[in-house]
Amino acid sequence: MATTALQHSPMVIADQELNNLKASNGDVLPKIGLMKSSSPDLPIEELRRRYEEDGYLWIKDILDKEKVLDMREQYFRFMTENGDSGILKQGTNPRDGIFSGEDWRQFLLPGAIRVANGLKDEGVFVEKTLKAHVAHFYSEFKSDIAEPLENFVGKLAQFQDPMLLKRTLLRCNVPSGETTPVHYDQIYLRAGPPTSVTAWIPLGDCALTGGGLMYLENSVEIGKKFEADFSEKSKDLTEEERLSAFNKNMMAGGFLDRNAAVFGKFWGRRWLVAPYEAGDVVFHNPFMIHASARNESPEQAIRLATDLRFVDKAGPFDERWLFEAYQEADPNVASRQPLGSKKKTHM
Ligand SMILES: O=C(O)CCC(=O)C(=O)O
Ligand SMILES: [Fe+2]
């Protein structure tokens, strides 16, 4: 059987497994590659070199696996008990996070992706999602990992005073549903310099077919080009509009494309994917282009993840991220924005 070896790890994966991965709308991704993994025990200079060269750094086993799985279990209990959102299959173990099979549209996250689908932020799932972002179990999980990750990011990005931004997101991608469209993060962090570092944390094992995050190979330069074009087009807008991810020059929700297959083909790049495990973290550059794959888990496992962002408190950063996600004061929710268009921006 033909195999593809990962450069930084001994893991091998059958090519066949790679050739059937899909964008969230079901289109087969034309060109796929595997991400390189790294051990957290490597010298920081080498990890930094990889991060700078690749635009991402996939670190194995940096978090306590059981704590990550506990977080997964508590999230699904929360979404089911005292008001059932309907996301879990009845009679299954919440730690497994098995999807009920109801209409996936109900389970789109509030804000940008619901906006992109023309849906309102309402219903039990939306209400519980908003509350989950400030629930005790999630705050505790974050405070547990904040310090070690701040220390790691501080060394990786050479920050003087690394800080986890308060606004963090919890995202569930149900099987066969639309997942996170193509984007780069600086679109949402424009009120600061492009120096933030995102940490994407799968909350549970996530096989290649499980709807994990994927990166467009060597795409930092493409992200920079988009941002320069957007800045040029937005010259005549007010400062607030210019900094908004939802201004009239952007596609609805601030995304670049909802079809990762078409986007990858247009730019002639491979989408890089990985078989993630609970305990892994991927760090990425704010210009690195990424999206989520379609979740085709044979077990119907829901893909749960959280994304955290780190900045250097000693320098300027986007202060709109100092608010808890979705709460009253959060200025970043797409559905609360008057602006935004249906523009296609990649061609
Ligand atoms: O979890 C996802 O689907 C998207 C995450 C993401 O875009 C990020 O971490 O920057
Ligand atoms: Fe992102």
**Which ligand has the shortest distance to the CA of 309?**
1
Mutate to test the pocket of ligand 1, among 169, 179, 196 (most ligand atoms within 8 A of CB): 169
Does 74 contact ligand 1 (Cβ within 6 A)? no
Across 70-101, b (16+ Cβ under 10 Å) vs e yields bbbbbbbebbbeeeebbbbbeebebebbbbbe
Angle between helices 44-54 and 136-157 (to 10 degrees): 100
Distance 48 CA to ligand 1 centre (A): 21
Of ligand 1's listed atoms, the one at least distance from the Cα of 305 is 1
Does 255 contact ligand 1 (Cβ within 6 A)? no
**Which ligand has the shortest distance to the CA of 180?**
1
Q: pLDDT 10s digit of each residue in the chain, 347 long?
A: 334 444 454 456 667 677 889 999 999 999 999 999 999 999 999 999 999 999 999 999 999 999 999 999 999 999 999 999 999 999 999 999 999 999 999 999 998 888 778 899 999 999 999 999 999 999 999 999 999 999 999 999 999 999 999 999 999 999 999 999 999 999 999 999 999 999 999 999 999 999 999 999 999 999 999 999 988 888 888 888 878 877 777 776 778 999 999 999 999 999 999 999 999 999 999 999 999 999 999 999 999 999 999 999 999 999 999 999 998 778 776 666 544 444 443 33
Q: How far is CA 126 from CA 82, 111, 120, 130, 239, in A?
A: 14, 10, 9, 6, 31
Cβ atoms 234, 324 nearer than 8 A:
no
pLDDT at 170: 97
Does 207 contact ligand 1 (Cβ within 6 A)? no
Of ligand 1's listed atoms, the one at least distance from the Cα of 211 is 3
**Which ligand has the shortest distance to the CA of 185?**
2
pLDDT at 20: 86
Mutate to test the pocket of ligand 1, among 107, 201, 258, 290 (most ligand atoms within 8 A of CB): 290
Q: Can you tell me the distance from the alpha carbon of 264 to that of 293, in angstroms, rounded to the nearest whole number?
A: 12
pLDDT at 12: 60
Does 307 contact ligand 1 (Cβ within 6 A)? yes
Mutate to test the pocket of ligand 1, among 168, 184, 198, 203 (most ligand atoms within 8 A of CB): 198
123: left (phi over 0), alpha (psi -120 to 50) or beta: left
pLDDT at 332: 74
pLDDT at 1: 36
Domain 3-336, CATH number (from 2.60.260.20, 3.40.50.1110, 2.60.120.620, 1.10.240.10): 2.60.120.620
**Which ligand has the shortest distance to the CA of 184?**
2
pLDDT at 337: 59
Pairing of strands 12-14, 3-5: antiparallel
Contacting residues for 82 by C-beta, under 8 A, at least 6 apart: none
Distance 45 CA to ligand 2 centre (A): 25
pLDDT at 345: 39
Secondary structure letter of residue 189 according to DSSP: -
Q: Can you tell me the distance from the alpha carbon of 116 to that of 183, in angstroms, rounded to the nearest whole number?
A: 13
Amino acid occupying residue 319: E
- State residue 302 phi and psi, 5-degree precision: -80, 135
Does 186 contact ligand 1 (Cβ within 6 A)? no
pLDDT at 246: 77
Residue with tokens 């990858």: 264
pLDDT at 241: 85
pTM: 0.92
Residue with tokens 């050479």: 158
Find the DSSP H helices in the chain.
15-18, 44-54, 65-80, 112-116, 124-132, 136-157, 220-233, 239-243, 260-267
**Which ligand has the shortest distance to the CA of 302?**
1
Distance 256 CA to ligand 2 centre (A): 11
Pair of tokens at residue 224:
């920079």
Over residues 233-279, the pLDDT tens digits come to 888 888 888 788 777 777 767 789 999 999 999 999 999 999 999 99
Pair of tokens at residue 197:
């570092």
pLDDT at 343: 45
Contacting residues for 61 by C-beta, under 8 A, at least 6 apart: 39, 40, 277, 279, 280
Over residues 85-138, the pLDDT tens digits come to 999 999 999 999 999 999 999 999 998 888 778 899 999 999 999 999 999 999
Of ligand 1's listed atoms, the one at least distance from the Cα of 282 is 9
Does 276 contact ligand 1 (Cβ within 6 A)? no
